[in-house]
Amino acid sequence: MQQAIAVLDSGVGGLTVVKEVMKQLPHEKVIYFGDTARSPYGPRPASEVRHFTRQIVDYLLQFNPKMIVIACNTATAVAIEDIRARVSIPVVGVISPGARAAIKMTRSGRIGVIGTDGTIRSQAYETALRQISPDIHVYSEACPLLAPFVERGLFSSDRAHSIVEQSLSPLKDKPIDCLILGCTHYPFLMESISQVMGPEVTLISSAEETARDISTILSQRNMQTKSNEIPIHQFFCSGTPIVFRQIAENWLKEYISFIPVVWQVPTII
């Protein structure tokens, strides 16, 4: 049986990474876990997020995946080293790819970062950016209202737009030329974020670069699937699946419309 790439997030956010994986690696099978019952992770203490991440990884290991992708910045910031120490398969996070993508893009060396309270508090982006380029200027802003809004499927509403406007206002007068969407939920709000920040600011989602990392690791280790079949992906969520399923089907429609997808009953862990 084909070994899958296991992807986790607090909810629907990691689907932004899954979409890129499906685009770049169409024959790879994905098993996804969204912890919708316990979302958002952003306001939670680091120790709790670490504990939840461990639980989900333990759950996903029963499917014998070939790789774990922590498609959540909040969990990557506080749990990736812990998970790497616990499993023998590759573990990919979203912070280093996002930082790398921003460094490639910036001309001015002034980069904005938005994320959850947990991610911004951890300063994981500052660390990752300065590891690549020590002189970089980073302007960080926590936007705790955004992910819960996305989780409710309300990302195209007027209310969502005004919350984006309000959340980004502290960054509007900063001299940045790139803004890292340091939460995997934020690409759902791309249109509003881009309208608010204007054409001078390039938005960086780590999804694309993360999918490239996944592809590189699979080929370096000769772990790519040899199958040319269309994979049967599996999606799990810990809360009620109705909204989760709607968002996922809509977001991934070009990649899963003709692909058999197994939707599982909610699993509370």
Q: Is 185 annotated as a binding residue?
A: yes
Nearest distance in Å: CB 147, ligand DGL: 4
Q: Does 251 bind ligand DGL (CB under 6 A)?
A: no
Q: Is 222 annotated as a binding residue?
A: no
71-88: buried (b, 16+ CB within 10 Å) or exposed (e) per residue?
bbbbbbbbbbeebbeeee
Q: Is 167 annotated as a binding residue?
A: no
Q: Is 202 annotated as a binding residue?
A: no
Q: Which of 72, 79, 99, 111 binds ligand DGL (CB under 6 A)?
A: 72
Secondary structure element (H or E) that encloses residue 92, with its range: strand 91-92
66 vs 185, beta carbon nearer ligand DGL: 185
Distance of CA 92 to the CA centre of its chain: 11
34 vs 241, beta carbon nearer ligand DGL: 34
Within a 10 A sphere around the Cβ of 212, how many other Cβ atoms? 16
- Those residues with Cβ within 8 angstroms of residue 47's Cβ, 6 or more apart along the chain or in another chain: none
Q: Does 53 bind ligand DGL (CB under 6 A)?
A: no
3-state secondary structure of 48: helix
77 vs 178, beta carbon nearer ligand DGL: 77
Site mask for ligand DGL (CB under 6 A), range 106-145, x = bound: ---------xx--x--------------------------
CA separation for the pair 244, 235 (Å, rounded): 10
By rule CB under 6 A, what count of residues binds ligand DGL? 17
Nearest distance in Å: CB 217, ligand DGL: 20
Q: Which amino acid is at 36?
A: T
CA separation for the pair 235, 229 (Å, rounded): 19
Nearest distance in Å: CB 219, ligand DGL: 26
CA separation for the pair 232, 147 (Å, rounded): 28
Nearest distance in Å: CB 251, ligand DGL: 13
Q: Is 184 annotated as a binding residue?
A: yes
Active site residue ranges: 72, 183
Nearest distance in Å: CB 215, ligand DGL: 21
- Of 4, 66, 13, residue with least CA distance to 182: 13
Q: Which of 25, 29, 33, 39 binds ligand DGL (CB under 6 A)?
A: 39
Q: Does 210 bind ligand DGL (CB under 6 A)?
A: no
Please give the span between the terminal C-alpha atoms of the chain, in angstroms, as a whole number: 25
Q: Which of 10, 53, 122, 225 binds ligand DGL (CB under 6 A)?
A: 10
Tell me whether the omega of the peptide bond preceding residue 40 falls within 30 degrees of 0, making it cis. yes
| Binding segment toward ligand DGL, per CB under 6 A, in 71-79, 172-180, 196-204, 253-261 | 71-79
Contact 94, 124 (CB under 8 A): no
75 vs 225, beta carbon nearer ligand DGL: 75
CA separation for the pair 240, 2 (Å, rounded): 28
Residues that bind ligand DGL (CB under 6 A): 9-10, 13, 39-42, 72-74, 115-116, 119, 147, 183-185
